[in-house]
């Protein structure tokens, strides 16, 4: 871990959880909650979980695995956030859409240190990819797309929400900054095909151009579908420096987010004030 400095009043220790996700929901939840507790025991007050951290399996099983926001998984997330006193960004879960024939949403839930629900974001951009001789992904056949950017006020600052493939759409992040985001989160299950070339570059670009902290919690290793995911969970500061990165294996990436640094970067390089095009 890179963050050994003491945490002051203007700083928060944050962690990204990296984990291997399969179709055993109980195992996934135990792993996630054990790592949240491990992070909190080290003084972490903001924890980000990966995309679809609670379940990932065959398309035919998705309807049975999906839950409402009033279901058991969100209830347990609320209990863990309150137990450990952390702001918990629950990467994403399969959210049931309400009718048996409707595709589920890929949905992020943010919980405060009292367990209260602070915000909900449904992944807007769905990853459809077919590489000759390579991976095939068609999220639009499995999920509904969300339609609304979400920026959430939390005890650790305003957090702009995004999930995985959203990372390739800079206009989303500019809108989140317009709404006051200081921290951007991007839980992911980035493919090992694109990860080596694009993951770190895109994370750093979004942090630099928006002068925000970027927290990216990732799935790692092969998943049930056979797709290899890239891992490399990272915390990046508003200057684009990688503060901590976990390349392989389950565990934590951690760093101190010094909010005064974020303000200093925006004052010294006020590019956000120099925009000539308003989306």
User: Active-site residue numbers?
Assistant: 51, 123, 164
Can you name the residues that pair with 158 across neighbouring β-strands? 153
DSSP structural state of residue 49: P
Q: Give the number of other CB atoms < 10 A from CB of residue 274.
A: 7
* 82 neighbors 113 (Cβ within 8 angstroms): yes
Exposure b/e, 67-101, CB count within 10 A at least 16 = b: beeeeebbeebbebbbebebbbbbbbbbbbbeeee
In whole angstroms, give the CA distance from residue 208 to residue 204.
Answer: 6
Confirm if 68 and 93 have CB atoms less than 8 A apart. no
Start-to-end Cα distance in the chain: 38
Question: Which two structure tokens, joined as six digits, stand for 179?
Answer: 């709404």
């Amino acid at each position: 871990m890179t963050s050994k400095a003491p945490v002051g009043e203007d700083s928060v220790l944050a962690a990204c959880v990296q984990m291997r996700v399969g179709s055993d929901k109980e195992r996934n939840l135990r792993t996630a909650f054990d790592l949240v507790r491990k992070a909190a025991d080290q003084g972490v007050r903001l924890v980000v979980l990966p995309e679809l951290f609670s379940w990932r399996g065959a398309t035919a099983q998705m309807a049975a695995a999906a839950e409402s926001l009033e279901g058991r998984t969100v209830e347990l997330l609320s209990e863990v956030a309150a137990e450990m006193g952390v702001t918990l960004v629950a990467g994403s879960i399969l959210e049931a859409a309400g009718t048996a024939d409707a595709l589920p949403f890929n949905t992020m839930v943010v919980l405060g240190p009292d367990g209260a629900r602070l915000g909900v974001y449904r992944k807007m951009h769905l990853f459809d990819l077919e590489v000759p001789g390579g991976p095939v992904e068609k999220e639009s056949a499995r999920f509904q797309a969300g339609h609304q950017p979400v920026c959430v006020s939390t005890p650790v600052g305003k957090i702009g929400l995004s999930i995985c493939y959203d990372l390739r759409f800079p206009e989303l992040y500019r809108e989140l900054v317009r709404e006051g985001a200081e921290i951007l989160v991007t839980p992911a299950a980035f493919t090992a095909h694109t990860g080596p070339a694009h993951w770190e570059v895109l994370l750093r670009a979004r942090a630099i151009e928006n002068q925000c902290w970027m927290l990216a919690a990732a799935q790692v290793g092969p998943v049930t579908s056979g797709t290899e995911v890239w891992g490399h969970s990272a915390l990046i500061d508003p200057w684009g420096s990688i503060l901590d990165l976990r390349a392989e294996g389950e565990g934590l990436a951690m760093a101190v987010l010094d909010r005064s640094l974020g303000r200093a970067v925006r004052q010294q390089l006020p590019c956000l004030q120099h925009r000539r095009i308003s989306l």
